Homo-oligomer: A and B are copies of this chain.
Amino acid sequence: MDAPQPQHGDRPGRGPRTGRAERADAAGNRRRILEAAARIVAEKGPDALTMNAVAHETGIGVGTVYRRFGDVAQLLFALLDEREKRFQEAFMTGPPPLGPDAPPLERLRAFLHALADRVTDQLDLMLAAETAAPSARYSSGAYATMHTHVTVLVTRVRPEGDAALLAHMLLAPFVPSLTHHLTRDGGRTVDEIKAAADDLLLGLARPR
């Protein structure tokens, strides 16, 4: 559990997990599939994104769509990937307080705020992904990266605790379904969510 290794949902568009690079026709189809998927989501919403629809839209066979992206969830993760990378850069190499050169607790707080924004931004897409496969979250590269990051920060803030486990628990409140429930059904604002996250962090601030 160190750097995020190639995992479920962690293929930016390069090759399959095996050694050699992707064949030319395969890469072309991957691109066409992603384009069609983005178009469908833009026009009809994430719920209309089905493997069949993509296959029909592109003229590519269903089997091929499944061969490139294992299931709907992974296709959705791929659509989220671009902004996800920008998000990762922001907290890994960006300016403080999100990036380095800020005290750990402050960074942690900034990260959770940024995460709240990120989930809210692409809530529909993320909710669709979670609906398609709730546990895919935990085998995705995006989650692994966030978890590693939070674990490091928690370790520095509270060395005597089980940082990895606490990191999971700090990320849990930001599952798409809860964010959806709070903001769409519950009428909550992102700022209220951020404030509550701050409260959750208070405990970590003071060593027991």
Q: Which residues of A come within 8 Å of B, CB atoms?
A: 127, 130-131, 133-135, 137-138, 158, 161-162, 165-166, 168-169, 172-173, 175, 177-178, 180-182, 185, 188, 192-193, 195-197, 199-206, 208
Interface centre among A130, A172, A185 (most CB of B within 10 A): A172
- C-alpha gap A60/B165 in the complex (Å): 46
Q: Residues of B contacting A197 with CB < 8 Å?
A: 169
Residues of B within 8 A of A181 (CB): 135, 138, 168
Q: Once the chains bind, are B166 and A200 in contact (CB under 8 Å)?
A: yes
Would you mind naming 18 contact pairs between A and B with Cβ atoms under 8 Å apart? A127-B135, A134-B134, A134-B177, A137-B177, A161-B196, A162-B199, A165-B182, A165-B193, A165-B196, A166-B200, A168-B178, A169-B173, A169-B197, A173-B173, A200-B203, A201-B203, A203-B203, A203-B204
The 8 closest A-B pairs by CB, nearest first: A203-B203, A202-B203, A169-B173, A165-B196, A138-B181, A172-B172, A172-B173, A135-B177
Contact at B138–A195, with CB atoms within 8 Å? no
A128 smallest CB distance to B (angstroms) = 10
A197→B135 CA distance, assembly (Å): 21
| Closest chain B residue, CB of each to CB of A135 | B177
Q: Are B165 and A192 in contact (CB-based, < 8 A)? A: yes
